[in-house]
Amino acid sequence: MNVITTFNSKRREKQIKHERSLLKELSIQLLSKSVQKYFGGIRMQGGVFLQQGLEEGCYDVAIEAYLLGAQFSRFAGLYEEKRQIQARCEKEMKHLIDTLFNFWLYWGKIGEEIVFNDSLYFSCEGFIEYWWNEGFTKADKRRKMRLH
Protein backbone atom coordinates (compact mmCIF):
# COMPACT_ATOMS: atom_id res chain seq x y z
CA MET A 1 0.00 0.00 0.00
CA ASN A 2 1.37 3.41 -0.96
CA VAL A 3 1.39 6.48 1.21
CA ILE A 4 -0.25 9.48 -0.39
CA THR A 5 1.37 12.83 0.33
CA THR A 6 0.22 16.22 -0.79
CA PHE A 7 2.19 18.93 -2.44
CA ASN A 8 1.59 21.29 0.48
CA SER A 9 2.97 18.86 3.05
CA LYS A 10 6.10 18.24 0.94
CA ARG A 11 6.60 21.97 0.48
CA ARG A 12 6.18 22.57 4.22
CA GLU A 13 8.72 19.82 5.02
CA LYS A 14 11.20 21.38 2.62
CA GLN A 15 10.61 24.84 4.14
CA ILE A 16 11.16 23.54 7.67
CA LYS A 17 14.37 21.79 6.61
CA HIS A 18 15.62 25.00 5.00
CA GLU A 19 14.73 27.11 8.04
CA ARG A 20 16.48 24.69 10.38
CA SER A 21 19.64 24.81 8.33
CA LEU A 22 19.56 28.62 8.41
CA LEU A 23 18.88 28.77 12.13
CA LYS A 24 21.94 26.60 12.82
CA GLU A 25 24.06 29.59 11.81
CA LEU A 26 22.47 31.85 14.43
CA SER A 27 23.85 32.12 17.93
CA ILE A 28 22.39 33.49 21.14
CA GLN A 29 25.48 35.68 21.54
CA LEU A 30 24.85 37.35 18.19
CA LEU A 31 21.21 37.94 19.09
CA SER A 32 22.18 39.30 22.49
CA LYS A 33 24.74 41.70 21.02
CA SER A 34 22.21 43.09 18.57
CA VAL A 35 19.63 43.60 21.34
CA GLN A 36 22.25 45.47 23.37
CA LYS A 37 23.23 47.52 20.34
CA TYR A 38 19.70 48.66 19.51
CA PHE A 39 18.01 48.67 22.93
CA GLY A 40 20.89 48.79 25.42
CA GLY A 41 20.42 52.47 26.26
CA ILE A 42 16.80 52.10 27.36
CA ARG A 43 16.27 52.36 31.10
CA MET A 44 13.41 50.28 32.39
CA GLN A 45 11.51 49.96 35.59
CA GLY A 46 11.58 46.43 36.88
CA GLY A 47 14.14 43.80 37.69
CA VAL A 48 16.31 41.25 35.98
CA PHE A 49 13.36 39.01 35.08
CA LEU A 50 11.69 41.79 33.13
CA GLN A 51 14.89 42.54 31.24
CA GLN A 52 15.39 38.86 30.39
CA GLY A 53 11.80 38.62 29.21
CA LEU A 54 12.17 41.65 27.00
CA GLU A 55 15.41 40.32 25.57
CA GLU A 56 13.84 36.95 24.77
CA GLY A 57 10.90 38.70 23.11
CA CYS A 58 13.37 40.57 20.94
CA TYR A 59 15.02 37.25 20.04
CA ASP A 60 11.68 35.89 18.83
CA VAL A 61 11.00 38.87 16.58
CA ALA A 62 14.61 38.88 15.33
CA ILE A 63 14.30 35.24 14.31
CA GLU A 64 11.04 35.99 12.48
CA ALA A 65 12.70 38.88 10.61
CA TYR A 66 15.72 36.67 9.85
CA LEU A 67 13.52 33.96 8.36
CA LEU A 68 11.50 36.53 6.43
CA GLY A 69 14.67 37.87 4.83
CA ALA A 70 15.78 34.33 4.05
CA GLN A 71 12.43 33.54 2.48
CA PHE A 72 12.55 36.57 0.19
CA SER A 73 16.17 35.97 -0.82
CA ARG A 74 14.94 33.64 -3.54
CA PHE A 75 14.09 36.74 -5.58
CA ALA A 76 17.78 37.71 -5.63
CA GLY A 77 18.29 34.88 -8.09
CA LEU A 78 15.92 36.66 -10.44
CA TYR A 79 18.27 39.65 -10.58
CA GLU A 80 16.11 42.03 -8.61
CA GLU A 81 17.69 44.71 -6.49
CA LYS A 82 17.63 44.36 -2.73
CA ARG A 83 15.41 47.44 -2.31
CA GLN A 84 12.84 46.01 -4.71
CA ILE A 85 12.83 42.74 -2.83
CA GLN A 86 12.49 44.54 0.49
CA ALA A 87 9.55 46.50 -0.92
CA ARG A 88 7.82 43.19 -1.68
CA CYS A 89 7.69 42.30 2.01
CA GLU A 90 7.07 45.81 3.34
CA LYS A 91 3.75 44.78 4.87
CA GLU A 92 5.29 41.87 6.80
CA MET A 93 8.21 44.00 7.99
CA LYS A 94 5.85 46.74 9.15
CA HIS A 95 3.93 44.12 11.12
CA LEU A 96 7.14 42.89 12.80
CA ILE A 97 8.23 46.45 13.63
CA ASP A 98 4.82 47.28 15.12
CA THR A 99 4.79 44.02 17.08
CA LEU A 100 8.21 44.71 18.61
CA PHE A 101 7.34 48.34 19.35
CA ASN A 102 4.07 47.43 21.06
CA PHE A 103 5.85 44.67 22.97
CA TRP A 104 8.34 47.21 24.34
CA LEU A 105 5.61 49.69 25.19
CA TYR A 106 3.55 47.13 27.05
CA TRP A 107 6.23 45.19 28.92
CA GLY A 108 8.88 47.89 29.20
CA LYS A 109 6.68 50.26 31.23
CA ILE A 110 8.18 53.09 29.25
CA GLY A 111 6.97 56.60 29.90
CA GLU A 112 4.51 58.69 28.01
CA GLU A 113 7.07 60.82 26.17
CA ILE A 114 6.36 61.05 22.46
CA VAL A 115 9.99 61.83 21.58
CA PHE A 116 11.18 58.74 23.42
CA ASN A 117 8.52 56.61 21.76
CA ASP A 118 9.67 57.87 18.36
CA SER A 119 13.28 56.94 19.10
CA LEU A 120 12.12 53.53 20.34
CA TYR A 121 10.18 53.02 17.12
CA PHE A 122 13.26 53.90 15.06
CA SER A 123 15.30 51.45 17.14
CA CYS A 124 12.74 48.73 16.45
CA GLU A 125 12.80 49.58 12.76
CA GLY A 126 16.60 49.38 12.62
CA PHE A 127 16.61 46.11 14.56
CA ILE A 128 14.12 44.46 12.20
CA GLU A 129 15.93 45.73 9.09
CA TYR A 130 19.24 44.46 10.47
CA TRP A 131 17.89 40.96 11.00
CA TRP A 132 16.03 40.94 7.67
CA ASN A 133 19.31 41.83 5.94
CA GLU A 134 21.18 39.13 7.89
CA GLY A 135 18.66 36.46 6.84
CA PHE A 136 18.64 37.71 3.26
CA THR A 137 22.45 37.67 3.04
CA LYS A 138 22.90 34.24 4.64
CA ALA A 139 20.22 32.60 2.49
CA ASP A 140 21.56 34.26 -0.66
CA LYS A 141 25.05 32.92 0.10
CA ARG A 142 23.61 29.45 0.70
CA ARG A 143 21.72 29.65 -2.60
CA LYS A 144 24.84 30.73 -4.49
CA MET A 145 26.82 27.90 -2.93
CA ARG A 146 23.91 25.55 -3.69
CA LEU A 147 23.44 24.58 -0.05
CA HIS A 148 19.70 25.18 0.00
The per-residue pLDDT for range 121-146, each reduced to its tens digit, is 999 999 999 999 999 999 988 888 87
Q: Could you state, in order of their start, the residue ranges of all structural domains in the chain?
A: 46-148
The 3-class secondary structure across the chain, one letter per residue, is CCCCCCHHHHHHHHHHHHHHHHHCCCCHHHHHHHHHHHHCCCCCCCCHHHHHHHHHHHHHHHHHHHHHHHHHHHHHHHCCCHHHHHHHCHHHHHHHHHHHHHHHHHHCCCCCCHHHHHHHHHHHHHHHHHHHHHHHHHHHHHHHCCCC
Query: pTM here?
Result: 0.85
Residue 47 has pLDDT above 80, yes or no: no
